[in-house]
């Protein structure tokens, strides 16, 4: 845990002592900055930075304490847990205190609020002062709570007068003019903060403006009642009234709709528990031949997942299983074997995917993989003409299609299977809950397999609580190399260098910009840099035929650079594309970043992902955390 220089005394006067928080992340960030600096230095002629290895050797000669959340890197451990956030919900805080006391915990409250001191002085130890963040010590059975957990208030700012500082986690959200939702009164605008005297006591309050310029002063202890929205107020926004009933009627109607959907889901799950499904017969020689035709070596996790899925399919009760695996870890092959098994048993299989492009790629992959085997595959999406869609639907209803691959087009009422036995949902986190259950409702006894690299909390919770089985692919395919991921400010030199290196080794490049309006300007920029290179453009507003032609051109290698939106984030597998450049990454969520990075590095070649943000623009704390996560989480699986 502690590394000291041999013979050195840590008490020497003036001797430095280094604390390294998350040393693995520091190393990853240092390598990222080193790579970015090389790009800048090659253009500006700046001096190169010392390598991390050099710096690490110099640090090793001094006393060093390394603090890490990674247990594998620690010699000693501190068993500490994060304290829950209450955000002014004092009833929940009191309930948690009672629960802690029943479990034998002693509670310490660090607060600068004298009102809270008087409220809780008898029930717990109140310590006047500030604690940056609370924590729970399960070994000593002590809970430390700060003002941050209790009310969501950060430290006051010292100045000539008292300045209200909003919760740290909202520092980027609570800005004047931001739209908020108050749980009792509805849509309003945040107009700053003031100190308000209530019953002789001065309290910090948020100023919320509703319709007709009516204002509500909300004490900071009631922060849990509001939810910030991403938009700012403008002339087109209709605020709710403090005395009106529109918001309450809307809430009541929404609650009723949610209750109806919950009842429908409960009925569906109850029926699926009671109904007798189809027990597929055991594997035979044809299935063994199909397995042997796989051109790659399966990982151990793949073999385990396949075995678990086949066992579920051979039972009398409907399967409901979630398959979780990193991008490019072989989920599609596992799904292919399940679909092949369903067809062997005389049933049809359906593969539901979120985008038309992904549906077409799956259709090509399934068709190629099933070549030589008696399985008929069809494809249904908006890419097809009405006549072609009608022909596919007739063949599906007649049982002349064994595996149907399609988008949400498959959820329409005119889609009727002759005998559906297996439903596979790829990228399940991209679908709404009722969309995913719609096909189940039509066939309560159908087996269901969901695939995801980033499952949504609801799906994951159902699996972890035992309501849905789960299989996990943690092992990377053989010879898989982690994607080199960097984040930094956008510059023409970095973009040119990244794309040039990939083109020089005969590869292809994704260039992602998430605004269609920016694409013509970016296209002109790329053509200036690479006048002799074929560049294509893809986004969701293109005509179907044009989009299909562009994607097929990129898939076949006729296009070297694809300028696109995040339309490519779902499941695309282009063998030659091993560099992706993403601009304005501050607009993306972590799941989107993760999926976009997964478009490259799916072969045995080194792959690169560049997450670039506007130069000179300050980034929100949440954005910095996302970038830190995507650049440091390079471990396989």
| Residues near 464 by beta carbon (within 8 Å), at least 6 away in sequence | 470
Answer for the pair 217, 190: CB distance below 8 angstroms, yes or no: no
Give the separation between CA 394 and CA 399, rounded to whole angstroms: 9
Answer for the pair 231, 205: CB distance below 8 angstroms, yes or no: no
The rounded radius of gyration (Å) of the Cα atoms in the chain is 29
Q: What pLDDT, on the 0 to 100 scale, is given for residue 623?
A: 84
Q: What pLDDT, on the 0 to 100 scale, is given for residue 636?
A: 53
Give the separation between CA 559 and CA 533, rounded to whole angstroms: 8
Whether the predicted model's global pTM rises above the 0.75 cut = no
Q: What pLDDT, on the 0 to 100 scale, is given for residue 510?
A: 95
Residue for token pair 């919900």: 89
In a 10 Å sphere around its CB, with 0-12 CB exposed, 13-18 middle and 19+ buried, how is residue 324 labelled?
buried
Q: At what angle do helices 621-632 and 590-597 cross, to 10 degrees?
A: 30
| Residues near 617 by beta carbon (within 8 Å), at least 6 away in sequence | 586
User: What DSSP string runs through 40-58?
Assistant: HHHHH-PPPPPPHHHHHHH
In a 10 Å sphere around its CB, with 0-12 CB exposed, 13-18 middle and 19+ buried, how is residue 130 labelled?
middle
538's enclosing H/E stretch is: strand 535-538
Answer for the pair 152, 220: CB distance below 8 angstroms, yes or no: yes
User: What structural domains and CATH numbers belong to the chain?
Assistant: 2-73 (no CATH), 81-150 (no CATH), 168-244 (2.40.10.170), 275-473 (3.40.50.300), 484-632 (3.40.50.300)
Q: Would strands 201-209 and 64-67 be described as parallel, antiparallel, or unpaired?
A: unpaired
Answer for the pair 581, 610: CB distance below 8 angstroms, yes or no: yes
Please list, residue by residue across 167-206, b when 16 or more beta carbons sit within 10 angstroms of its beta carbon and e when fewer do.
beebebbbeeebbbebeebbbbbbeebeeeeeeeeebbbb
* Alpha-carbon torsion (290, 294, 297, 302), positive or negative: negative
Q: At what angle do helices 519-529 and 492-504 cross, to 10 degrees?
A: 60
Give the separation between CA 93 and CA 6, rounded to whole angstroms: 49
Give the separation between CA 235 and CA 252, rounded to whole angstroms: 27
Token readout for 596 is: 């976009």
Q: What pLDDT, on the 0 to 100 scale, is given for residue 396?
A: 94
Give the separation between CA 631 and CA 610, rounded to whole angstroms: 9
Residues forming beta bridges with residue 449, ordered by sequence position? 321, 424
Token readout for 552 is: 């097929």
User: What DSSP string runs through 165-207?
Assistant: ---GGGTTT--TTEEEEETTTEEEEEEEEEEEEETTEEEEEEE
Query: For 379-452, where are the alpha helices, taking DSSP H only?
Result: 386-397, 433-442
Tell me the backbone φ, ψ of residue 473, rounded to 5 degrees: -105, 100
Comparing CA positions, the residue from 517, 519, 497, 499 lying closest to residue 507 is 499
Q: What pLDDT, on the 0 to 100 scale, is given for residue 516?
A: 87
Residues forming beta bridges with residue 423, ordered by sequence position? 350, 448
Q: At what angle do helices 23-44 and 621-632 cross, to 10 degrees?
A: 100
CB half-sphere exposure, 47, CA atoms < 13 A:
2
Q: At what angle do helices 23-44 and 492-504 cross, to 10 degrees?
A: 90
Sheet containing 135-137: order of strands = 81-82, 135-137, 142-145, 106-111, 125-128
The mean pLDDT values, 10 residues at a time, for the chain of 637 residues are 41 67 73 69 69 76 75 66 78 85 88 66 75 86 85 48 45 72 90 76 83 87 78 74 88 83 68 75 90 87 93 88 82 93 94 83 87 92 84 94 90 87 80 56 75 62 59 79 87 91 92 89 94 91 80 86 84 80 89 84 81 85 85 64
The SS3 assignment for 38 reads: helix
Q: What pLDDT, on the 0 to 100 scale, is given for residue 523?
A: 94
Q: What pLDDT, on the 0 to 100 scale, is given for residue 399?
A: 93
* Alpha-carbon torsion (100, 105, 110, 111), positive or negative: positive
Q: What pLDDT, on the 0 to 100 scale, is given for residue 611?
A: 93
Give the separation between CA 437 and CA 417, rounded to whole angstroms: 16
Answer for the pair 143, 150: CB distance below 8 angstroms, yes or no: no
Comparing CA positions, the residue from 460, 462, 444, 443 lying closest to residue 452 is 460
The beta strand positions in 55-185, using DSSP E, are 64-67, 81-82, 106-111, 125-128, 135-137, 142-145, 178-182
């Amino acid at each position: 845990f502690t590394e000291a220089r041999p013979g050195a005394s840590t008490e020497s006067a003036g001797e430095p002592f280094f604390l390294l928080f998350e040393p693995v992340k520091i190393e990853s960030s240092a390598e990222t900055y080193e790579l970015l600096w090389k790009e800048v230095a090659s253009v500006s002629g700046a001096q190169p930075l010392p390598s991390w290895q050099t710096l690490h050797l110099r640090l090793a000669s001094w006393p060093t304490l390394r603090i890490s959340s990674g247990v594998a890197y620690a010699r000693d451990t501190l068993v500490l847990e994060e304290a829950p956030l209450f955000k002014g919900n004092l009833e929940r805080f009191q309930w948690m205190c009672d629960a802690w006391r029943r479990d034998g915990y002693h509670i310490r409250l660090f607060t600068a609020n004298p009102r809270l001191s008087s409220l809780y002085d008898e029930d717990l130890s109140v310590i006047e002062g500030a604690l940056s963040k609370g924590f729970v010590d399960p070994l000593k059975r002590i809970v430390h709570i700060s003002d941050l957990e209790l009310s969501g208030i950060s430290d006051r700012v010292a100045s000539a007068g008292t300045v209200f500082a909003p919760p740290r986690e909202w520092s980027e959200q609570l800005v004047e003019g931001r739209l908020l939702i108050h749980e009792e009164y509805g849509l309003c605008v945040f107009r700053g903060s003031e100190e308000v005297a209530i019953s002789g006591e001065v309290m910090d309050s948020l100023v919320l403006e509703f319709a007709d310029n009516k204002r509500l002063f909300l004490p900071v202890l009631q922060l849990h009642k509001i939810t910030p929205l991403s938009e700012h107020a403008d002339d087109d926004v209709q605020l709710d009234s403090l005395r009106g009933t529109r918001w309450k009627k809307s809430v009541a109607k929404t609650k009723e709709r949610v209750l109806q959907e919950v009842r429908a889901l409960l009925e569906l799950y109850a029926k699926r528990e009671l109904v007798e499904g189809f027990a597929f017969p055991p594997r035979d020689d044809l299935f063994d031949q199909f397995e042997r035709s796989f051109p790659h070596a399966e990982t151990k996790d793949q073999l385990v997942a396949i075995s678990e899925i086949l066992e579920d399919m051979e039972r009398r009760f409907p399967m409901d299983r979630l398959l979780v695996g990193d991008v490019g870890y072989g989920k599609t092959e596992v799904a292919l074997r399940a679909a092949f098994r369903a067809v062997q048993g005389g049933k049809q299989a359906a593969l539901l995917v979120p985008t038309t492009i992904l549906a077409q790629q799956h259709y090509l992959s399934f068709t190629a993989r099933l070549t030589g085997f008696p399985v008929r595959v069809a494809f249904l999406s908006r890419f097809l003409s009405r006549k072609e869609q009608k022909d596919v639907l007739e063949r599906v209803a007649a049982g002349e299609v064994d595996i149907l691959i399609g988008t949400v087009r498959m959820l329409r009422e005119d889609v009727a299977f002759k005998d559906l036995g297996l439903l596979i949902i790829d990228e399940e986190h991209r679908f709404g809950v009722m969309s995913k259950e719609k096909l189940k409702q039509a066939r309560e006894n159908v087996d269901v397999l969901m695939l995801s690299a980033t499952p949504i909390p609801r799906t994951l919770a159902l699996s972890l609580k035992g309501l849905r089985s789960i299989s996990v692919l943690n092992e990377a395919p053989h010879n898989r190399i982690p994607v080199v991921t960097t984040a930094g400010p956008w510059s023409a030199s970095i973009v040119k260098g990244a794309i040039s290196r990939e083109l020089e080794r005969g590869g292809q490049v994704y260039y992602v910009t998430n605004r269609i309006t920016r694409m013509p300007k970016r296209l002109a920029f790329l053509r200036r840099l690479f006048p002799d290179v074929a560049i294509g453009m893809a986004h969701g507003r293109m005509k179907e035929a044009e989009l299909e032609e562009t994607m097929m051109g990129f898939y076949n290698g006729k296009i070297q650079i694809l300028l696109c939106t995040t339309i490519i984030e779902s499941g695309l597998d282009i063998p030659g594309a091993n560099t992706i450049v993403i601009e304005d990454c501050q607009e993306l969520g972590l799941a989107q970043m993760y999926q976009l990075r997964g478009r490259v590095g799916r072969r045995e070649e080194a792959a690169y992902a560049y997450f670039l943000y506007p130069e000179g623009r300050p980034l929100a704390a949440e954005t910095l955390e996302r970038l830190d996560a995507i650049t440091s989480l390079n471990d396989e699986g």
